[in-house]
Structure 1
Amino acid sequence: MDEQQATKRAEEIIHQAVDGMSPKPTLKRTGLAPVGACVADDHSAGERQQVALSYQLTGVPGTEARKLVRQARDAWVKRGYKFQGSDADWSDPFPSVSMRTVPDDFWMSALTGVVDKAKGEGLAAITVTSPCFAANSSSTADPASFRQTATDEQAERRARDHSSRLYDALQVRHAPAREGEGLATYQDGEGTYAHHAWSTGLLPEDAMAQALARAQAHFESRGWTLQRVSTATGVPALLARNADDGSMAQLAPSTDGTLRVAVTTPTVPPRSASI
């Protein structure tokens, strides 16, 4: 598989969920550039990449968000795709479902972000993430080629704050900074972002699982939306998004036994709540 094939398949999975929906939503792209480094690999490595496509389902009443998530689930089940864990809790007014394709193992989620809890209004979104694939000269974007911009102090403070709170939640020691880690501001075709990356020390398997569980509880208690992504370690990575400021957090177990952590914050927060 290459970038073009992965993108085409991810788009197909999204349209399998959306094309038959009623009411008919409009797809609105969210997130960073769709092609990036494999979350299972070291931060400084570029041998493998993966595609992650995220869309908000807009143009429908907020009270229909739960219905759209269920329709996505039904469409994927009809095609024989499998649940990651169990089905959603459909008694929840803001459900989420995580699934994977068979046999090519794309991971996807349909979820509802809260817009107005009192009125039961949400905003549905779909994310599809490909397996990791080998990078090649025609599709690889060298992280070093990103044009560094003037520091946006507010975005960097937000990124550091999220990263610090996450460090407290993980309750594990961090390792000395590696190449490519630390705080920086980068620009790509979608905008400008502050990026803070760091790693934990070596973690036994049980400690890794416990740290990720604490991180998940941290995100859930603060209203972040969550997605799990397969990794070479067999332990899923966590991807989380903050609807208030558009920050993205990534926690990826590495094959060297450490947990790689990265928080990316746009210099211009979204104008309205989004996923």
Structure 2
Amino acid sequence: MKLQNMSAVVTGAASGLGAATAARLAAQGVHVLGIDLAASIEAAGTPPERVQYRSADVTDEQQVAEALTALESHTIPPLRLAVNCAGIAPARRLLSSRGVHDLETFQRTININLVGTFNVLRLAAERMAAQDPLDESGQRGVIVNTASVAAYEGQIGQVAYAASKGGVVAMGIAAARDLARSGIRVNTIAPGVVETPMLAGLGAEVSDALAASVPFPHRLARPDEFAQLVTMIAEHDYLNGETIRMDGALRMPPQ
């Protein structure tokens, strides 16, 4: 699929992986609807050219539907790409000095990371399926979800996060098969440790230790490398139902 004459929706677009993806797509001429929470959008400031921010909670059906409807009403090219980057990464052991892992944190993590991804996936797919095919194979669009290496090697304190990202991985092949007859591909990226504001909040000592654990390249991944992989997936018509680890050969230890 060529990144021409098309629109894309990117969630979590005001920072980190989402911001890098929105900027890269916009630089290639794609009209981008960036979805994020209002506070994140305000903190992000002026969006890049061709990026339109809209405040919406990815877990809210009506808010996401209204954002996508607003995109269609601007008489811009049809929606062909959706990238799910919105997510949270709480840290809590099942049992600790604070007591048992609270249910609310687990439910909230599943709701944002997994249910939110599903919500955007299904609503974006509905609109893509209504578009004319792009080629003789009947391709209409691509959806890229974001998992994590924690889906495979969840560390101590990551039980909620690992469960949510494991769900995203498992959902990918089923969604790809469901949407095949509509000409919509679904793929997943499972990043390792990426240099994002979420990671920076843990402090330089933690970031340095994580970077030292990556076999090669011996550093943290960059958000623009994630964005580069998104565009490669979109352009590679035979990639479907796959989860691609972007981790420098990292396999996470228990902690």
Return the TM-score normalized by structure 2: 0.29
Considering fraction of residues, name the structure with more strand. Answer: 1
Return the TM-score normalized by structure 1: 0.28
Considering fraction of residues, name the structure with more helix. Answer: 2
RCO higher in 1 or 2 (8 Å CA, sep ≥ 6)?
2
